[in-house]
Structure 1
Amino acid sequence: GPSFEDRIYVFTPQATVIELTAGATPVDFAYTLHTDLGHRCRGARVDGAMVPLNTPLANGQTVEVVAAKEGGPSLDWLNAELGYLKSPRSRSKVRAWFNAQAMAGTIARGRELVEKLLQREGRTAIKLDDLAAQLGFKGADALFEVVGKDEFSLRNIEILLRPAPPPEPEDEGIHLKRTRATEGGVLVVGVESLLTQLARCCRPAPPDAIGGYVTRGKGVAVHRLGCSNFRHMAGAQPERVIAVAWGEPSGGSDALYPVDVLVEAADRSGLLRDISEVFAKDKVNVTGVHTQSVKGPGGSTAYMTFTVEVGDAGRLSAVLRSVSQVPGIRHARRR
């Protein structure tokens, strides 16, 4: 350890002995007593007389710190030539304070950029911690930090916030022909269903509760009743809503319906292969895959959308359970 010559011993006004590095200053003394006192140190009395803060202290002196109520260290203290600090520990405490200030500035800049984006997208109601979690960050500050450092593109947030594309534009005029497919005013899906098409925004499948919406030129679009697009259109033009029901498939063939499955996982090599193997094992046909990887401080997060064909939506829960067992999967759900 340090020899006696490397140390000096001084007193507080209450006569407590404080051990310091030889050549230590009143600022070192303040930091030895308490980090916060060091930050707020503005002057010092040695044996009752005011002295400059870069005065080297000597054995046996009584040192009293004059501190501001609040505030931080001076950048001058880190300039070795000015002699304010002798102790490496004091120096690291001053550096830590300035680093924290810089970090606070970075986080504030990131927060401002994210909040401006949410205003542009009309999504100011979203909780910032929830948004950060969806992007794979531990909390909002972690997201703001990488945005503030320009290490994370705001485009990733836009992609997450943008809802599914609205239904395709509608053309003029449609008259519902009464065929065997309409029974008692209820249009039956799957029987001579030239008139019906399954909406791509919510991809209904039996036994989902469904509603129909008469489009222009495209027949009746069949939506899940909970679909936000359907609720919006039904609210705007209720006269276009028509009751629909699932029919029994004709000719004994099992009809298959496309359904979207959303998967969020810690990204790794072989992830797509492992999930595809689960679908294959469960004899579920995959007709489309869209994947996106978002880098975060805790590694990359993969957001994947699989379009799969199922005879009925009820079968999907067993498949989702299997997918959830794949290592790294955070959650798998139907869109």
Structure 2
Amino acid sequence: EIQIRTWEMHRTAEYGIAAHWRYKEGRHETDRDFENKLSWLRQLLEWQRDLPDAREFMESLKLDLFSDEVYVFTPKGDVLELPAGATPIDFAYRIHTDIGHRCVGAKVNGRIVPLDHRLQNGDIVEILTSKQLGGPSWDWLSMAKTSGARQKIRQWFKKERREEHITRGRELLEKELRRHGLQREEALRDDWLEDIARRFSLTSVEELYAAIGYGGISANYVAQKLEEELKREEWQATVAEAEEVMKGVRLTQPYGRPVDGVRVRGVDNVLVRFARCCNPLPGDSIVGYITRGRGVSVHRVDCPNIRHLSADAGRLIEVAWDDDVAQTFLAGVVVSAFDRPGLLSDVVNAIAETRTNISSVSARADASRTATIDLVLEISSLEQLRHLQEKLSKIRDVFSVSRASGEPGGSTG
């Protein structure tokens, strides 16, 4: 026998799934371990196809990949392998999807047990079913430990109760908005919601609500994105107003000598103070406000307090950063993340790697396990701050890194 192969054909024939040697050497018996691996890989592909969200797919994979197993029996003596901590719900869906959907109770070793009962090695499990298709309940998602069972439960909700999901999703999102201190009328903008829906390959706002309702998308995540859009819109409005104010700033005289890294138009050796309400940094666009007896207060042009001072525009004066600023400034940074052990340590270590000094730090977590870390850092420029924000945003579980507007109630002058 002579075979003519390309290298690709040879590699497939010798080492592929249907390898030549498997039948050439007369190995007719099934390599059980090998077949189990292939079955597991096929299951992974099915999960990935059913879970378009990569983060949800990885969480589902970790549930099955990093767990010990328990071996339990059906009433007929068949053995089922399940991850440690599995419940009768996992057992029911492992037997058949329809058995899971019709499950109304369970017996373990002849005794009725709750559906969140943890199965042990050697248990004999019997699933009690109803002739009518009642379907799963929402709390099953927290009881099920296997990704396969959870996915089948979500699929049932997604298919059977779409209108209920839309209503539930809208309620969950509105609840999250209230927790974030946002008004429903100002945050639930169709264009913003449509943009978020497109990120998840959804075609409408209703699909987004439905996904929130059946647990496919976190209501907290959507609320965070809406809050970011609101802040961005407010910032753009503030900048536009600041630009109008700047049109009336005096521009007739040359800059004076720098004081504390800032030059004031037409004035030498004037006392310069940095407004604590916005904490400007070298690189920020700035404007000066002539105070009574305390020199010139320097603000960012997008500082909200500039709007309040615009009625007294005659006291605004043009200022600019000196080319060589050799000092540091205090800047506030707010880190928001999903709470976990070691989060604060990771944030502090990331800052230490940039050789940035921390002036103060405080951390808190709310009932939904969302952590907020408030930092005051010694920063030399806007570029340094942006680099640091980018580094912090790459920490695991961090979903927002923003610049604090300044001290609460900080001085405007």
- TM-score normalised to the size of structure 2? 0.39
Higher helix share: 2
TM score, norm. by length of structure 1:
0.46
- Identify the structure with the greater strand proportion: 1
Which structure has the greater CA radius of gyration? 1
